[in-house]
Structure 1
């Protein structure tokens, strides 16, 4: 709404405006328009859009200059709040706000004689908040005086007046914003009014109208989110969703609880809706206002939830949308100093690219030209580049970028925020992370793990925020690299802590149900032989994976792209002992989620009638009918035959990858067409970590003609089709796992490997932490970079495979003992599964008097609830 905070012209209440729901509070006025604008102002205040709230209260005054509660509203909206205490105001904003708030409070007192008793009480209380029109030396006395005054209002009117309950809770929270609980334990800090807050809010929630009150529900989420039991607010969060249709922050708030209970899917959807709703506000008000902080917060929360869910596409899309709102003009505003508040959000892309292992994108990510305005972004871009070079094995370039990062970090002023954290504290996490990543690539594992543990400590000690200040939990790369070096038991403990499966971490530091740690923990359990636990975790992992849009193969992509360890002895480290668990092919989950039960040997030969080329949309496809593929073949990108020592007849080994401490080598065998057409693995650089070697292709080097089988109206014909680059031929490859134990298992069963290339097959080097490899004659590694558009046609290839299968109308061969039929779960067709968290309703509690805060700066211990007082179900006494 384009209404000046200096009340002047009237705006009719029936003018097109935002939909703020149905909440209303009758006030003392004869003006219908004043009543409507007051309702709007109060809801905006509850929604933490204080700028718009003040504008609405100004309209109350414009329509009824004698309406005392309208003046109260302006003073309330422009004063401090839970997210913006007095210490956060910049000097200019502070001076202006105190002067205006004092004047409005005094004006409200002037007209209070005709106001209702409750309105008079609110007006009297706010006088204590703004005792003078000048900036005081200390704010705490007036903050405590206002809280005490509001508790008196609550005692008089709070029994059935949920607005009074909400406003009293707001005043109490202002005494110790974001410090109601001990950060390391989640226990209530009894030097704060936390127990009084719990008392009055949970009494309010017992009221029949509580589920429709946006302020009360909002306050309750803030009350419990830092506690040991944030799930107590699940019902309140559900009631709050959609309660204020055009209130972006209200849409967002339930996600604070969603994330804490591990419901990232719901957190994602909630924040997606919040960002869309915010666009309506931007269309009317623009971006150059303080509410832009809340809009960025909603984007930040959306991106974080998507990252924790393994959703790369929406993470990147939301990042792009967020960056579009961070205009240079917005960041140049000096009051409030928006660069201090917002510039950090411009660096979020770095975290997204690291989360999803997009190393090539990081290497070419541009560095902002204005290195002062974008100082945080500059530092983190250098950080991301260094991580990318380290992850891809170029330690020298990683070191060069690390030096640039250090120099840039030194230029970041202490005023820059990722609220409520200082960016300098966040950069300390980055420093330790980067040192660990680079030392790891150098082979200095003791130093690497020491640095990564330091990063974890710094990460844990950040000020509570939702989303967390450091967007990629430091335990994820630490545990992934532990696992790569064979420290399976230690990695399992790290994953247990991250998932909140033990009591080692405060609740706010845990990340329940996140797909990254679930995958790592499941792998640890399997490799440790803890099969019953693994089966339990597997179901949670499958549900999490159903919502991801990338195959998650580790808790950090850094595990797969770096230099492999040549450490064969036990590496030194604090409390690190390499696990000596048995090497079991059927339980290798490092990169493998499904196997054919028995080895694929050269007893399978590609039939002669499978050399036809078919056309499917833009693709030319070598026959991939069911009878042309090995029995048990799956299009699942994580499916492998195992053991797989050599390629079957009619195939050639096109590429292989070494993966994990277990010396696993994945091999892709591509079909042979003729001596002029050699199919190779797809290795698109920017998406290598996602697509790996899903299918085989041949790019025509020059104009070439090949016979293509066409079918139209049940008439089949063969024509010569010209090919020219970047056109070519495509087919599914046969993928296998090859490791030392495979050779042993084949020898034991009497199945002798046959090398189609004529050479001998050499065993993989054994030993923990050792590297593995195929025999020299088998190392035919052909890397082909293809246009990104080819990847977009993978789906068409799969659909064509199914169509050919139906056309052949061949009954599936009976399952023999040689091959086991593997489960078919093609990527892209995974069904979405919701996580339903049951919880109870919130019953009421009996009313007991609330204690008054002392007038001096020292607070007495708040009164606890009586032992025999009924309390909210599922929300027992603080202990």
Structure 2
């Protein structure tokens, strides 16, 4: 799977940052609290205030957990407690900058620049390592916003490389260097041949060295997961197993192991991990009434992940609840804003749930989305087309397919994207091929069905990597079922094995694989596969008769 060769920079995050920075300029904001469950990570700084030190540690850990807005609040509080603390100002400047999930907001530039300039003036009161941190970060900022920050981000990465080299026992310096490198190429760490880029190898080597010295470093474990999840997720299993318990008060860090679990077939662990993360974040929002990026992006991401993991383990109840809660939290006006196509995707998740679990009557009772919401409307037609197909109402199914196809070819949907990773047009094109194939299969037209579903597989494979996957019901599971119905058992086996390479140990394809092996007389292999299926399907609340409903 390919990744976009550009920054993940979505207007969704830009708008969210604008909300936060508008709030941050309001001096009436309450004092930052000390949170429970922030772990034991400590970075000693030059300060006479124990409270400032505590806020600094909390801010750094919050930043490692990508809650940059809350981290900024902690660093501001540290500055109030010790006006002479250079590193407290460094921390504020650091978290106002770009990260792998968002560009730097223009409104943050003056505050970030001001903070690092204050840090430079106060640096004479700091030790040499702190001065190195401050001088390095100063290369990242200028007084006015720039359209292209790439030179600044690269300069900062190069400066942090020198800091990490100068202080080899400072694991935060090494971690920040790795992060700075990742910020120069967000989500673009691997070549087409699935080998690490030169800079990525430096990231991996650096993070490996940190984890060898301190396996429980929260920032290094987090970044390592992101660095390898797309191509080599098995390398981060140990990091995932550690990270979930290191900072139990950070919802995002509690969630992060599921990025690996879902890639290595540990769907139950992914479900539980996200249930825990949701509970942590719900408590956080209740306590702080936070606004900005974290509640608008990271928290819905947890529910989306919970939903996806639950579908893969066959748990309709959990998936249904997660999907409906996710959709219900979407602001109907915000999802119409340019750049916020991801919200339309979240809004449509209940349709994916119903098609995944064969809830045909419920689909036909679902109201049509507003006409201007073309992507949800396309998925609505897709779901209805499948429902009519299963009811052998082929003329109605064809009408839904025709409506879906029109939307799948609508050029406006090229501009409606999911996290700026895949266009919603691409998603609807996969849907159209799946529906075409399923209509043909239901009518006994095996050759046409198989051809269309193979095209769906090609389109699905062409989608850029995202977690959870933007097309949530793997086309190979439909293809395998059609091949079984056509008595092409060996080809069905291949389809299922390919799907299991992408989603290891998923019960849908294990069930189909067992059917294909049994049909070929491979009884021993079929029995072993059945045992695998029973193990992974133990949390399911549905019974399968095929690899798709």
TM-score (norm 2): 0.90
Q: What's the counterpart of residue 852 of structure 1?
A: none
C-alpha contact 1:151 1:168 (8 A) present in aligned 2: yes
> Per-residue displacement from partner, 1:172-201 (whole Å, max 9, x unpaired)?
111222121135x432234xx111112111
Change (3 A) 1:96 1:67: same
Q: What's the counterpart of residue 64 of structure 1?
A: 82
Q: Distance in 1 between matches of 2:517 and 2:441?
A: 24
* Structure 1 segment 647-726 matched on structure 2, within 5 A: none
Q: Higher Cα Rg: structure 1 or 2?
A: 1
Corresponding position: 1:532 with 2:533: no
Corresponding position: 1:283 with 2:302: no
1:304 paired residue among 294, 297, 308: 308
1:223 paired residue among 220, 224, 227: 227
Q: Distance in 1 between matches of 2:267 and 2:414?
A: 33
C-alpha contact 1:293 1:341 (8 A) present in aligned 2: no
**Partner SS for 1:210:** coil
Change (3 A) 1:413 1:97: farther
2:215 paired residue among 210, 214, 222: 210
2:195 paired residue among 184, 187, 212: 187
C-alpha contact 2:271 2:306 (8 A) present in aligned 1: yes
* Structure 1 segment 187-266 matched on structure 2, within 5 A: 187-190=195-198, 193-207=199-213, 209-211=214-216, 213-227=217-231, 229-266=232-269
Shift of the alpha carbon at 1:367? 2.0
Q: What's the counterpart of residue 38 of structure 2?
A: 20
Q: What's the counterpart of residue 150 of structure 1?
A: 160
Corresponding position: 1:167 with 2:176: yes
Q: Distance in 2 between matches of 1:329 and 1:23?
A: 41
C-alpha contact 2:404 2:428 (8 A) present in aligned 1: no
C-alpha contact 1:166 1:216 (8 A) present in aligned 2: yes
**Partner SS for 2:119:** helix
Q: Distance in 2 between matches of 1:75 and 1:404?
A: 50
C-alpha contact 1:439 1:448 (8 A) present in aligned 2: yes
Larger relative strand fraction? 1
2:130 paired residue among 119, 127, 152: 119
Q: Distance in 2 between matches of 1:84 and 1:73?
A: 18
Change (3 A) 1:12 1:275: closer
**Partner SS for 1:546:** coil
Change (3 A) 1:69 1:123: same
Q: What's the counterpart of residue 272 of structure 1?
A: 275
- Which residues of structure 1 form unaligned runs of 5+? 87-93, 501-509, 558-879
Change (3 A) 1:462 1:413: closer
C-alpha contact 1:293 1:342 (8 A) present in aligned 2: no
C-alpha contact 2:327 2:348 (8 A) present in aligned 1: no
> Per-residue displacement from partner, 1:394-448 (whole Å, max 9, x unpaired)?
1211122223334445253614324533323222222222222233345443333
> Per-residue displacement from partner, 1:64-112 (whole Å, max 9, x unpaired)?
23322222222221211112246xxxxxxx3213333223222222222
C-alpha contact 2:324 2:349 (8 A) present in aligned 1: no
Q: Distance in 2 between matches of 1:519 and 1:283?
A: 42
Q: Distance in 1 between matches of 2:40 and 2:29?
A: 23
Q: What's the counterpart of residue 64 of structure 2?
A: 46
Q: Distance in 1 between matches of 2:92 and 2:397?
A: 54
1:547 paired residue among 521, 524, 539: 539
Corresponding position: 1:109 with 2:120: yes
Q: Distance in 2 between matches of 1:321 and 1:419?
A: 23
Q: Distance in 2 between matches of 1:554 and 1:287?
A: 45
**Partner SS for 1:260:** coil
Q: Distance in 2 between matches of 1:453 and 1:252?
A: 34
- Which residues of structure 2 form unaligned runs of 5+? 1-19
C-alpha contact 1:287 1:330 (8 A) present in aligned 2: no
* Structure 1 segment 333-372 matched on structure 2, within 5 A: 339-369=340-370, 371-372=371-372
C-alpha contact 1:7 1:58 (8 A) present in aligned 2: no
Corresponding position: 1:523 with 2:515: yes
Shift of the alpha carbon at 1:54? 1.6
> Per-residue displacement from partner, 1:231-281 (whole Å, max 9, x unpaired)?
221111111112212211111111111111111111111111111211112
C-alpha contact 1:344 1:418 (8 A) present in aligned 2: no
Change (3 A) 1:465 1:532: same
Q: What's the counterpart of residue 5 of structure 1?
A: 24
Corresponding position: 1:78 with 2:79: no
Q: Distance in 1 between matches of 2:24 and 2:127?
A: 26
Shift of the alpha carbon at 1:376? 2.7
Q: Distance in 1 between matches of 2:191 and 2:424?
A: 22
Change (3 A) 1:412 1:20: same
* Structure 1 segment 544-623 matched on structure 2, within 5 A: 544-557=536-549
**Partner SS for 1:251:** helix
> Per-residue displacement from partner, 1:637-672 (whole Å, max 9, x unpaired)?
xxxxxxxxxxxxxxxxxxxxxxxxxxxxxxxxxxxx
Q: Distance in 2 between matches of 1:378 and 1:60?
A: 49
**Partner SS for 1:428:** helix
**Partner SS for 1:245:** coil
Q: What's the counterpart of residue 178 of structure 1?
A: 187
Q: Distance in 1 between matches of 2:434 and 2:29?
A: 56
Shift of the alpha carbon at 1:523? 0.9
Q: What's the counterpart of residue 841 of structure 1?
A: none
Q: What's the counterpart of residue 5 of structure 2?
A: none
Q: What's the counterpart of residue 458 of structure 2?
A: 457
**Partner SS for 2:62:** helix
Q: Distance in 1 between matches of 2:197 and 2:426?
A: 24
Q: What's the counterpart of residue 392 of structure 1?
A: 391
> Per-residue displacement from partner, 1:829-856 (whole Å, max 9, x unpaired)?
xxxxxxxxxxxxxxxxxxxxxxxxxxxx
> Per-residue displacement from partner, 1:689-708 (whole Å, max 9, x unpaired)?
xxxxxxxxxxxxxxxxxxxx
C-alpha contact 1:350 1:380 (8 A) present in aligned 2: yes
Q: Distance in 2 between matches of 1:389 and 1:127?
A: 62
TM-score (norm 1): 0.57
Larger relative helix fraction? 2
How many residues align structurally?
A: 526
Q: What's the counterpart of residue 6 of structure 2?
A: none
Off by >6 Å, runs of 4+ in structure 1: none
Q: What's the counterpart of residue 842 of structure 1?
A: none
Shift of the alpha carbon at 1:483? 0.7
Change (3 A) 1:386 1:418: farther
C-alpha contact 1:28 1:67 (8 A) present in aligned 2: yes
Change (3 A) 1:330 1:44: farther
* Structure 1 segment 760-771 matched on structure 2, within 5 A: none
**Partner SS for 1:62:** helix
Q: Distance in 2 between matches of 1:177 and 1:196?
A: 14
